Structures are given as structure tokens and as C-alpha cells.
């Protein structure tokens, strides 16, 4: 008669954490950072349709690394919850903190009760009326929440990317300079400098000064290329150019479908 197989709770949790970390580390990194006009998101992503960065609600955006189908489920859940809460109460009642807490509860439950943890790490960011009121929350695979200040990197070789980002981060930088800092950091993933152009990046912003409600914009094409060139040449972009129109984030499409 065979003996029953037993694994201590501590070992089980450690094994699941190691599994999730390895899965996340296989993917490319993403960075989130403040700049003088709001919050910038830059992800190493060659896909034009499978987004790592999306709008959740008026002032709130979502960024993720790891397994796409798992963080896409989380994104869609967040969009539905935000829409229901905003409709039932008031749009101002939908906050980044509320959504971050819900994501933390969901991931914590999956990690504790499921045999396989979700291989995801996400950020929920909300742009405020000023830089001091911006909110950036990192939620890890086990449901832990960190209230980040200024900037962060996640996925892939996050430690190396964070170190490179710290060298150039300035919360008062123009959009061009912030893009330059983010690209510089992502180029140092895995500890080796590599080529990275606009075709391999997904970029979006939450712009503080844009419209009363919808603050999310994608930055693509010629606009992204010019920002990268301006940032590389001068360490920043002209503030007047930063106010030029970026490509819209797709409106409600970004919030309701799988793109």
C-alpha cells in the first residue's frame, strides 16, 4: 500500500511562487513612470493587436506582463466592474485604488486555492489633478499590492530595467524625455544593450490636461518616432509639441473588446 503524498503548505506556496515568477520572467518588460503631463506606459511588445496596455476607465489605465489570456481576463473584469460602479453610483466613485484592491483579492484567491497560479503582474494607474495625486499600484501574482512612487518596471529582467530607468527618471520631464528614459531602460533588459525601435514598442499615456473625463491616449506611428528622436537628441521634447494630438486609444473599443 503506497503512502499518501504530502507537501507542506509552506513548500506548496513556494513552489507556486517560483512557477509564477519563472513564467513572468520569460516575457518582455514594461515600465510605468510619471512625467510632467501625467503617466507614461511603455511595453516591449511587437504585436499591434495583443495589447499589454489598455484603458480601464476615465482616468485609469492598466498595464500587464506575463501570460496574455490571464491578464486579458483581468482587464475585461476591471472594465466591467468600473462601468457597473460608475453607472450605479457616480463616475468619481471609480478609482484606481478600488480596482487595485479587487485585482489583489482575485489574484490572492487564485494563488491560495488553485493548483496553478496566474503568471501575471499588473499595474493599475490613475492620473490625478496634479502629480502628487497620481496613483500607481503594482499587483503581483499572489495578490500583493504595492503603492509605487514615480516609476516601476515589471516582467522580464525587471531589476536591470529598474536600475537603468532610475538613472534617467525625472517626474518633471517632458513626454519626449520620459519616452527616452523608458526606452533606454527597456534596451537594457537582460543586462545587455539592444536595439529597440518604435515598431517594437507599445506606448500610451494618461494625460492630466486632456478633456474632463477620458485621459487615455495611445502614442503610435510618426508621433512616437518623433518623440523618440527628440528625446534621444535633447533628453526631452518641447512641451508645445507634447500637446500635439496623439492617436486616440480607440475610445470604448479599448475598454470593451479583447484588443
Per-residue pLDDT of 43-52, as tens digits, reads 999 898 999 9
**53, 32 Cβ separation under 8 angstroms:** no
SS3 (DSSP) at 62: strand
The pair phi, psi for residue 228, each rounded to 5°, is -65, -40
The Cα–Cα gap between 13 and 210 comes to: 44
Describe the crossing of helices 175-187 and 221-234 by its angle, rounded to 10 degrees: 90
Residue at 258 is within a domain: no
pLDDT confidence bin for 236, thresholds 50/70/90: very low
The Cα–Cα gap between 9 and 241 comes to: 55
Q: What's the pTM?
A: 0.86
pLDDT at 2: 57
Residue at 174 is within a domain: yes
pLDDT at 255: 41
pLDDT in tens, 129-158: 999 999 999 999 999 999 999 999 998 788
Q: Dihedral of CA 124/24/165/189: which sign?
A: negative
Q: Is the pLDDT of residue 78 over 80?
A: yes
| Count of domains observed in the chain | 1
Residue at 239 is within a domain: no
Residue at 253 is within a domain: no
Mean pLDDT on 43-65: 95
pLDDT at 194: 74
**143, 111 Cβ separation under 8 angstroms:** yes
Q: How many CB atoms lie within 10 A of CB 157?
A: 19
Rounded-to-10 torsion of CA 150, 53, 210, 198: 90
pLDDT confidence bin for 189, thresholds 50/70/90: confident
Mean pLDDT on 254-258: 39
> What are the DSSP calls for 107-125, one per residue?
HHHHHHH-SS---EEEEEE
pLDDT at 212: 75
pLDDT confidence bin for 3, thresholds 50/70/90: low
Residue at 3 is within a domain: no
Q: By residue range, what is the domain housing residue 57?
A: 29-234
**105, 98 Cβ separation under 8 angstroms:** no
What would the grid cell of residue 251 be? 475610445
Residue at 256 is within a domain: no
Residue at 87 is within a domain: yes
Q: How many CB atoms lie within 10 A of CB 105?
A: 13
Residue at 24 is within a domain: no
C-alpha closest to that of 137 among 17, 126, 202, 58: 126
CATH number at residue 121: 3.60.20.10
Amino acid at each position: 500500500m503506497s503512502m499518501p503524498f504530502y507537501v507542506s503548505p509552506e513548500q506548496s506556496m513556494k513552489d507556486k511562487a517560483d512557477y509564477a515568477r519563472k513564467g513572468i520572467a520569460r516575457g518582455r518588460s514594461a515600465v510605468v513612470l510619471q512625467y510632467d503631463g501625467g503617466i507614461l506606459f511603455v511595453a516591449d511588445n511587437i504585436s499591434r493587436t495583443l495589447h499589454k496596455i489598455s484603458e480601464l476607465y476615465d482616468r485609469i489605465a492598466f498595464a500587464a506582463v506575463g501570460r496574455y489570456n490571464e491578464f486579458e481576463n483581468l482587464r475585461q473584469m476591471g472594465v466591467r466592474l468600473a462601468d457597473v460602479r460608475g453607472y450605479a453610483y457616480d463616475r468619481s466613485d471609480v478609482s484606481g485604488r478600488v480596482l487595485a484592491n479587487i485585482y489583489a483579492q482575485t489574484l490572492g484567491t487564485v494563488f491560495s486555492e488553485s493548483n496553478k497560479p496566474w503568471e501575471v503582474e499588473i499595474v493599475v494607474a490613475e492620473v490625478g489633478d496634479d502629480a502628487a495625486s497620481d496613483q500607481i499600484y503594482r499587483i503581483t501574482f499572489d495578490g500583493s499590492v504595492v503603492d509605487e512612487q514615480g516609476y516601476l518596471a515589471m516582467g522580464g529582467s525587471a531589476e536591470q530595467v529598474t536600475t537603468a530607468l532610475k538613472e534617467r527618471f525625472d517626474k518633471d520631464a517632458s513626454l519626449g524625455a520620459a519616452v527616452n528614459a523608458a526606452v533606454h531602460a527597456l534596451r537594457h533588459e537582460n543586462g545587455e544593450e539592444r536595439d529597440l525601435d518604435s515598431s517594437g514598442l507599445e506606448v500610451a499615456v494618461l494625460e492630466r490636461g486632456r478633456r474632463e473625463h477620458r485621459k487615455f491616449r495611445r502614442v503610435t506611428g510618426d508621433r512616437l518616432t518623433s518623440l523618440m528622436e527628440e528625446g534621444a537628441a535633447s533628453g526631452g521634447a518641447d512641451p508645445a509639441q507634447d500637446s500635439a494630438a496623439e492617436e486616440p486609444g480607440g475610445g470604448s473599443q479599448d475598454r470593451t473588446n479583447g484588443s
